Chain A
Amino acid sequence: MAGVSLDTVRKIYAGNVEAVKGVSLGIEDGSFCVLVGPSGCGKSTLLRMIAGLETISGGEVKIGDRVVNEIEPADRDIAMVFQNYALYPHMSVYDNMAYGLKNRKTPKDEIEKRVKEAARILAIESFLERKPRALSGGQRQRVAMGRAIVRKPQVFLFDEPLSNLDAKLRVQMRVEIKRLQRALGVTSIYVTHDQVEAMTLSDKLVVMSGGQIEQVGSPSEVYRRPETRFVATFIGSPPMNILPGKVEGNGRVSIGGQSLSVSDMRDGLAVGSDIEVGLRPEDVRAGATGQLSMNVDFVEELGATQLFHGKLGGADFIVQAPTGQIAADAKQLSLSIDPANVHLFDPQTTKRLGKA
């Protein structure tokens, strides 16, 4: 077992395109780290650099105590699960899993023992003799994971492993990956663009954008206290509402003339200056007496909850409420919010304006 640490890692492609702009990150031994971000944010490139599939243009990647910049992927003691599974189509499931062990000259009976063990854990014992093309997507994904776990590597790397599966299977496999990682205790780095996967799987959540890290923290930290407007709108579904506002004084802002109190607000902001106010759709309460009023345009039914779409102070606004709490034909809502759930951002730097 080993942790992974990155020190100002850069990737510059031909033509001076900087895909990863100096990322530093420490991943503790045995933890589950998820890199999440929109496509093109550099998360996959970063993972491939850790795997050794991309050269490192600058900085240092360490696995355990060893700098691996110049070490071949085979010698980094890692295993990777690819988005398209990348199974060897001409080999049986057994041979797919045994390949890495054969390459390392593992004794035959040891190979058999480990493959059988992995197959038992993943419940794929009954089709060890089949070729990958005779398997369903979910089964192929299990084989790909089996190929990773038989080697008993120091680090697991997952490159969007669930994005080719249908929604139901994705939820099921997500749970299995989490359970497997807990049971094996192997350091795991997982890349995804799906924020639900990111939230549910990670011990450590890394939100990336434009080749840089936006925020690192536990899922609940990132959700409760987003450090930038990007993180605030990227994590959480439906996304956080961002409204233009003005500073009224210490602990008070106004949105379109309607006043709101805030608990996490930086001291000494100039009165009357512009500020961005973030309110999560699920934090807003509709009632008889609220500080804010919203015009409802339409309602989306999600079963357990309803989404009310409309306008507040001229900007788009969404309110999420348990079904039945608000009349579905309401045209106007009076909204209140706990001051602890108001997030403030600098309109220029987009950074959080919370207490220092």
Chain B
Amino acid sequence: MRASQDRSNNDLCRHWGLNHMEKRAHFSSKTVPYLLLLPQLAITLIFFYWPASQAIWQSFLMEDAFGLSSEFVGFDNYRHLFAQPEYYKAMSTTVVFSLAVGTLSLACALLLATQADKKLRGGEAFKTLLIWPYAVAPAIAGVLWIFMFHPSLGTLSQPIRALGLDWNPLLNGNHAMTLLVLSATWKQISYNFLFFLAGLQSIPRSVIEAAAIDGAKPIRRFWTIVFPLLSPTTFFLIVVNVVYVFFETFGIIDAVTGGGPAGQTTTLVYKVYADGRVGGDLGGSAAQSVILMVIVIALTAFQFKFVERKVQY
């Protein structure tokens, strides 16, 4: 039985041109490796390079009001964009929003993860509960937060008013931004928590114990031992969270504030949608998405070049 299995495995390997006696795969024909790479390459080409190049091309075009024809206008879309005060406003909104959500969600997740990493009664249940928000769709998360904080319907709006704050995220831009930051943070904490927890669990317990014997109290232990050893996880999460706040918060913005009041919570990605899809300015929207793409690529490259140096692998 065993021998015949081995033989059929060998046949299979030979069939695929693989020599399984060596660790490195050797292919007898040139087409097989390309065939094996094809699914991944196809996904990258169809879902990234093709739309990205479409956007670049589109950003040089201007469409007529009915979308029936388009003409090549060179950098006009970009020139027009940088002449709009709304665009600079969206940029500063994005910076405030990203910094707030990124910092808050990373800090909260790290705090929760360090607590969940302790030996607790019912610890597993807490961990599961903390991961749940990640399974909630952004739009539904947004609606949940509206139910809590809507000025007239919200269950928590009345208590807030009772505290003497004239709470109204529908009219007050700062209130709207606060609500948005809270909901986007809440949504992202689960993800960050999961990675921080995994990172914490991979730190050998004996290293922590050695530090305890070496006279480091818990807080000092955290900053001198745990935090530096978590830096690969933290770095990874910073990169992922930047992408999250720039792109993936669209759903939650749309559900909670719709970019309002008066464009006060319109971030760059929301403006791409509002101008292109709602405003019908496909060329201008394409130009914005090209700029957004460049910003995120630049940010990620910057992180890899400069922040990664501080990472202890």
A residues bordering B, Cβ < 8 Å?
51-53, 72-75, 78-80, 82-84, 86-90, 99-100, 103-104, 147, 151
B229 CB, nearest partner CB in chain A, Å? 6
Interface string of B102-136 (1 = CB under 8 A from A): 00000000000000000000000000000000000
Shortest 4 CB-CB contacts between residues of A and residues of B? A100-B214, A86-B206, A103-B215, A90-B312
Return chain A residues, CB-CB under 8 Å to B225.
88
CA distance A80 to B211 in the complex (A): 10
User: Which residues in window 212-268 of B have CB below 8 A to A?
Assistant: 212-217, 220, 224-225, 228-229
**Given A89-B312, A90-B312, are A104 and B210 neighbors across the interface (CB < 8 Å)?**
no
A112 CB, nearest partner CB in chain B, Å? 17
B221 CB, nearest partner CB in chain A, Å? 9
A345 CB, nearest partner CB in chain B, Å? 39
Q: A52-B212, A78-B213 are in contact. List 19 more A-B contacts (CB 8 A).
A: A52-B213, A53-B212, A74-B212, A74-B215, A74-B216, A80-B210, A82-B206, A86-B206, A86-B209, A88-B207, A89-B229, A89-B312, A90-B229, A99-B211, A99-B214, A99-B216, A103-B214, A103-B216, A147-B210
**How large, as a class, is the contact surface on chain B?**
10 to 19
B residues bordering A, Cβ < 8 Å?
204, 206-207, 209-217, 220, 224-225, 228-229, 312
Q: Is the CB of A100 within 8 A of B228?
A: no
CA distance A270 to B206 in the complex (A): 54
A2 CB, nearest partner CB in chain B, Å? 16
Return chain A residues, CB-CB under 8 Å to B211.
88, 99
CA distance A287 to B49 in the complex (A): 88
Return chain A residues, CB-CB under 8 Å to B215.
74-75, 100, 103-104
A46 CB, nearest partner CB in chain B, Å? 16
- A-B contacts, 27 listed (Cβ < 8 Å): A51-B209, A51-B213, A52-B212, A52-B213, A53-B212, A73-B213, A74-B214, A74-B215, A79-B213, A80-B213, A84-B206, A86-B209, A88-B211, A88-B225, A89-B207, A89-B229, A90-B312, A99-B211, A99-B214, A99-B216, A100-B215, A103-B215, A103-B216, A103-B220, A104-B215, A147-B214, A151-B214
A81 CB, nearest partner CB in chain B, Å? 9
B199 CB, nearest partner CB in chain A, Å? 14
Return chain B residues, CB-CB under 8 Å to A72.
212
Binding site of B, secondary structure by majority: helix, strand, loop or mixed?
helix
CA distance A89 to B212 in the complex (A): 16
B111 CB, nearest partner CB in chain A, Å? 22
Return chain A residues, CB-CB under 8 Å to B209.
51, 53, 73, 80, 82, 86
Return chain B residues, CB-CB under 8 Å to A147.
210, 214
A189 CB, nearest partner CB in chain B, Å? 14
Please, which residue of chain B has its CB at the minimum distance from the CB of A151?
Answer: B214
B107 CB, nearest partner CB in chain A, Å? 21
CA distance A179 to B224 in the complex (A): 33
B256 CB, nearest partner CB in chain A, Å? 41
Return chain A residues, CB-CB under 8 Å to B312.
89-90
Give the residue among A53, A87, A147, A151 with the most B Cβ atoms within 10 A. A53
Please, which residue of chain A has its CB at the minimum distance from the CB of B221?
Answer: A103
Q: Is the CB of A73 within 8 A of B212?
A: yes
A105 CB, nearest partner CB in chain B, Å? 10
CA distance A272 to B216 in the complex (A): 65
Return chain B residues, CB-CB under 8 Å to A151.
214
Return chain B residues, CB-CB under 8 Å to A78.
213
Please, which residue of chain A has its CB at the minimum distance from the CB of B207?
Answer: A86
**Given A90-B229, A103-B220, are A82 and B214 neighbors across the interface (CB < 8 Å)?**
no
A95 CB, nearest partner CB in chain B, Å? 10
Return chain A residues, CB-CB under 8 Å to B228.
90
CA distance A51 to B211 in the complex (A): 12
A160 CB, nearest partner CB in chain B, Å? 11
CA distance A99 to B207 in the complex (A): 12
Return chain A residues, CB-CB under 8 Å to B212.
52-53, 72-74
Return chain A residues, CB-CB under 8 Å to B213.
51-53, 73-74, 78-80, 100
Return chain A residues, CB-CB under 8 Å to B204.
84, 86
CA distance A52 to B216 in the complex (A): 14
Please, which residue of chain B has its CB at the minimum distance from the CB of A157?
Answer: B213
B309 CB, nearest partner CB in chain A, Å? 13
B215 CB, nearest partner CB in chain A, Å? 4
CA distance A89 to B230 in the complex (A): 12
A134 CB, nearest partner CB in chain B, Å? 13
B73 CB, nearest partner CB in chain A, Å? 54
CA distance A73 to B206 in the complex (A): 13
A294 CB, nearest partner CB in chain B, Å? 41
Please, which residue of chain B has its CB at the minimum distance from the CB of A153?
Answer: B213
Return chain B residues, CB-CB under 8 Å to A51.
209, 213
CA distance A86 to B228 in the complex (A): 15
CA distance A74 to B204 in the complex (A): 19
CA distance A99 to B209 in the complex (A): 13
CA distance A104 to B216 in the complex (A): 8
Return chain B residues, CB-CB under 8 Å to A79.
213
Please, which residue of chain B has its CB at the minimum distance from the CB of A144?
Answer: B210
B254 CB, nearest partner CB in chain A, Å? 43
CA distance A53 to B212 in the complex (A): 9
Return chain B residues, CB-CB under 8 Å to A53.
209, 212-213
CA distance A159 to B76 in the complex (A): 72
Return chain A residues, CB-CB under 8 Å to B210.
80, 82, 86-88, 147
